[in-house]
Amino acid sequence: MQRDQQVFNIIRKELERQREGIELIASENFASLQVLEAMGTVLTNKYAEGYPGRRYYGGCQVVDQSEQLAIDRARQIFQVEYANVQPHSGAQANAAVMLALLKPGDRILGLDLSMGGHLTHGSAVNFSGKLYQPSFYGVSRETGTIEYEKMLGIAIREKPRMIICGASAYSRDWDYARIRAIADEVNALVVADIAHPAGLIARGLMNSPFAHCHVVTTTTHKTLRGPRGGMILMGKDFENPLGLKTPRGELRMMSSLLDSGVFPGTQGGPLEHVIAAKAVSFFEVLTDDFHHYALQVMANAQAMSLAFLKRGYHIVSGGTDNHLMLIDLRNKGISGKKAEELLVKADITVNKNMVPFDDKPAFTTSGIRIGVPAITTRGFTEAQIPRVVEWIDELISDPENGQLPLQVKKQVNEFMRDFPLYPELS
Ligand SMILES: *Cc1c(COP(=O)(O)O)cnc(C)c1O
């Protein structure tokens, strides 16, 4: 067959883009070559609806082994009883959990999107806000941290069936025990969505949700540094938690409810090539190398937040406990959108992000979100961080200087040559 030069040229250009730039999008990372290898394999050809040992297709005896390995390793990493590795993404994991444990019209309580929450936690434009009745908690205007006292008040008023904690743009740790106590007051289930800090939780560097939350969802491609995908976990299984009425009203273990929430509830055939790549990345997470990586992520985030504070930047909540920070640019007289555009011209990639109590719309925003997982994978330590912050500050302080982005871009591209990415790929 003729080779598709067009698409492979595009992929080569994307490899160049990733190699040359400084990647600061908090949700991105660079999966290892062996993770990429596992994804680009014949496993993509296999239909495997169902679960290992109980499939709806023949010939699954081989992919059963890789999926079981992924499950076993996930359970080992987080010391948990249950793992479902089939969700195609973090959003799919949340959809499956809600389908399994809620009825349409049930009430849910999540962190407001404009305060750092995620679309799938009840946003009006998402299935979670259309199928369920959402209410929201937020962060304090003064401290930028979760207001647990108010969360309790809202929970008592709204009587949610499910409380969702976890966020996409929140730099502090969570008090899972306190959230469980709030949920117990109103007889609600607690779901922790650890899509962002999962890799740090995996190595014990942040609070673990498993003892307190009924269900935990995550992505596998952010701090876990695996292939793009999702996963559902449970510290321990429950029979009919809180008197759940399942569609047929029978008593069921939560694990079988969750399994059927994924398949057949919201997905068809699993992506066995991605599941094999998840297994490979979990193997990596269990190594000492990954432990050092996770420690370096924490150290780099501390160095980054200190460097910004020193230059007069306002960080929401005053700093970070994890791998990311949210910078409120209102004292710098530039919008998040403008800052993002400026930085991208210099091959420094960030995303604009609303800050709590933002007065600009979601398309403009007053802030940018910055994360260090990807640059840490590239090999950055505290030694490189001040240079990165200096470039960002130069650009943001002189936004009308048309020459500057190109000058910085040259320096950035030169700088990144010392941090090779996928040298094995031509
Ligand atoms: C990234 C993220 C997700 C969604 O993951 P996708 O794989 O993009 O669907 C879900 N929840 C939170 C909190 C996230 O940050």
Please say if 228 is a catalytic residue: yes
Annotated catalytic residue, options 193, 284, 321, 328: 193
Q: How far apart are the first and last CA of the chain?
A: 23
Contact 47, 272 (CB under 8 A): no
Distance CA 73, CA 160 (A): 33
**How many alpha carbons lie under 13 Å from residue 411 in its C-beta half-sphere?**
14
User: 118 CA to middle of ligand 1, Å?
Assistant: 7
pLDDT score for 249: 77
Distance CA 422, CA 24 (A): 18
Distance CA 224, CA 31 (A): 9
Can you tell me the mean pLDDT for 32-36? 98
Token code pair at residue 251: 């008593």
Can you tell me the mean pLDDT for 344-351? 98
**How high does pLDDT run on average in the chain?**
97
**For residue 338, how many other CB atoms are within 10 A of its CB?**
16
- Ligand 1: residue of 165, 193, 322 to mutate (most ligand atoms within 8 A of CB) is 193
Distance CA 264, CA 47 (A): 14
Can you tell me the mean pLDDT for 131-153? 98
Ordered strands of the 324-328 beta sheet: 314-315, 324-328, 367-371, 351-353
Distance set, CA 195 to CA 71, 202, 264 (Å): 17, 12, 23
Please say if 293 is a catalytic residue: no
Which tens digits make up the pLDDT trace of 163-221? Answer: 999 999 999 999 999 999 999 999 999 999 999 999 999 999 999 999 999 999 999 99
Can you tell me the mean pLDDT for 372-384? 98
pLDDT score for 243: 85
Cα 115 to the chain's mean position, in Å? 16
Q: Is 128 in the pocket of ligand 1 (CB under 6 A)?
A: no
Longest dimension (CA), the chain: 68
Cα 173 to the chain's mean position, in Å? 14
Cα 180 to the chain's mean position, in Å? 22
pLDDT score for 18: 98
Please say if 130 is a catalytic residue: no
> What is the percent of the chain with per-residue pLDDT over 90, rounded to a whole number?
96
Which one, of 277, 230, 271, lies nearest residue 44 by Cα?
Answer: 271
Distance set, CA 310 to CA 234, 304, 379, 382, 386 (Å): 41, 10, 24, 15, 10
Which one, of 426, 337, 345, 323, lies nearest residue 391 by Cα?
Answer: 345
405 — pLDDT class (breaks 50, 70, 90) = very high
**Burial letters for 207-225: b for 16+ Cβ neighbours within 10 Å, e otherwise?**
bbbbebbbbbbbbbbbbbb
Bridge pairing between strands 107-111 and 162-165 = parallel
pLDDT score for 119: 97
Contact 182, 151 (CB under 8 A): yes
Cα 96 to the chain's mean position, in Å? 17
Please say if 352 is a catalytic residue: no
pLDDT score for 247: 72
pLDDT score for 263: 98
Is the pLDDT score of 106 beyond 80?
A: yes
Is the pLDDT score of 245 beyond 80?
A: no
Tell me the residue type at 381.
T
Q: 174 Cβ partners below 8 Å, 6+ apart?
A: 146, 165, 166, 192, 207, 209
Please say if 148 is a catalytic residue: no
- Hey, is 400 helix, strand or coil? coil
Which residue has a Cα nearest atom 4 of ligand 1? 90
The full length of the chain comes to 426
250 — pLDDT class (breaks 50, 70, 90) = confident
Can you tell me the mean pLDDT for 257-277? 98
Which one, of 126, 69, 64, lies nearest residue 98 by Cα?
Answer: 126
Q: Is 196 in the pocket of ligand 1 (CB under 6 A)?
A: yes
Which one, of 170, 168, 193, lies nearest residue 94 by Cα?
Answer: 193
Which one, of 386, 291, 381, 393, lies nearest residue 332 by Cα?
Answer: 393
User: 397 CA to middle of ligand 1, Å?
Assistant: 32
Contact 103, 130 (CB under 8 A): no
Can you tell me the mean pLDDT for 80-109? 98
Q: Is 88 in the pocket of ligand 1 (CB under 6 A)?
A: no
Which tens digits make up the pLDDT trace of 219-244? Answer: 999 999 999 999 999 999 999 888 88
Beta-ladder partners of 231: 218
pLDDT score for 246: 76
User: 111 CA to middle of ligand 1, Å?
Assistant: 14
**Burial letters for 357-370: b for 16+ Cβ neighbours within 10 Å, e otherwise?**
ebebeeeebbbbbb
pLDDT score for 240: 87
